[in-house]
A and B are shown apart, each in its own frame.
Chain A
């Protein structure tokens, strides 16, 4: 299987504090990879490094087939990112947001127009079209932010806790969007707090105190820890944490 992300011995230190302690994992093209861990385990640090916003202290990293030290520009064109904080412009309308992000990724006017119509139709936003983003319900904002993150059809999309604070129905709809995107061949790298969401992933890794403690499909992990749910697996592992949040 084609490898989308390859991480070997990645270390990130802030002074004496080791945020990421020799991470090793691979993510395959087209899979949904869940990146789990308690608060402060080092998830956001790792995702920032993989997106090229932060540099690792050491380690070998390949993202979308490129070395991120040497080909940062090529990596950037091949990935999408939805940050933990909400990442659309509040004071612009839906169409203006789509137009802006499409423009940044170098899409043509025509494609942007087409995408805008497509998103508005898919998300049933016809009545919201002219509204500023600030006036939209959170669930719609979140779905729109995801659509915008994949507007340039990236090989990999990174989602940093995309569903926090959203109601269960919207979360379900959000995951349907993720599945559709993955079915098109996009690799989805997602962090989450919700263990039911972990069950939706093809494979998950669980980070504790900066290290990856477990990695596998949800059913493998449940067998390995003889647990009935991912929640039990997670609690079993996270209990070992010594770091205070």
Chain B
């Protein structure tokens, strides 16, 4: 009995994989969920169109900027700039003070404040709105205390890109991103690892077929299947969830193909370092699934994470792909607007492919 327990411990400690599962996963999860993935708001960028430029408007802007939840990104000069500033992607909320803001407040004890939020991420939009309203009612309180005057600032809210705050608009891009990553990368890496495990890889390497042909032969079916998968989810999004499509369908398809190619090359890279299906599976889970879900901005807003995780999220292809889908579908962005995330995914594709080729060659020595 005692011997058996000792033997079991020895085996567990010698198998680094079970050690990772035992300790690595819980530590990573607690750290991520506990610290990083809070649903609090932090440093959300907002812009102001202040047509009143008076006492109260200035004070409210100052109060917003001074809070840890918001950062004043810029002042706008005209209504036309609102659209532009949202397309930039950094500013998520715009406050509009109409002329005579303070005058109304002083005379009639009631005034209007327009709050426009980018609702392509409905969670964050809701949160920003709540925090903004809290700051405003706090300001109302302070006026009451200081002057004994009951005032009412009526927020007039407007959600941009997703008027009804449908969370499906957030989930569809997220689900597409995760499914494509999983099907493409995990399946390729496992299927290549299986050839090694079964010994068929050796036979293939002895045969006249070239390594590059093996790789293309592996990749093509998954490229096709993943693309069909993409169209399927998109079809559901349009028919069942009535998701809008403001951008160019061809551009979206091209971007999806690029992303799938990136995931496939990542899968090949994973397979070059794993000799069994099990290792390939675990590596895919660790390197792909968890970060894709947690750090892509799919569920937890990236803006609110500690800076180290924000940097980490920058190297997640999934984060960039979600941005592309949302910008193209909800904001009608063209290649001109999404060239930056596109070029990141393109760069990563090239990087993964060249690394796999290098690894592949070393293995043949």
Contacts and interface: CB of A to CB of B under 8 A. Distances in A.
Interface of A: 48, 51-55, 73, 76-77, 79-90, 101, 104-106, 149, 158
15 contacts: A48-B202, A53-B202, A54-B364, A54-B365, A76-B208, A77-B208, A79-B206, A81-B207, A85-B199, A85-B202, A86-B198, A87-B200, A87-B203, A90-B198, A158-B206
Contact of A104 (B199, B202, B208, B365): B208
B66 interface: no
B191 to A, nearest CB: 11
Contacts of A76: 206-208
Contacts, number: 53
Nearest to B200: A87
Contact of A51 (B200, B206, B365): B206
Nearest to A50: B206
A89 B191 CA distance: 12
A86 B208 contact: no
Interface residues of B, number: 13
B90 interface: no
Contacts of A105: 207-208
A229 to B, nearest CB: 32
B362 to A, nearest CB: 11
Nearest to B197: A85
Nearest to A88: B200
A89 B204 contact: no
A156 to B, nearest CB: 11
Nearest to B209: A104
B351 interface: no
B206 A55 contact: no
A161 to B, nearest CB: 12
Contact of B364 (A53, A82, A83, A158): A53
Interface string B198-242: 111011111111000000000000000000000000000000000
B207 A104 contact: yes
A11 to B, nearest CB: 14
Contact of B365 (A55, A90, A158): A55
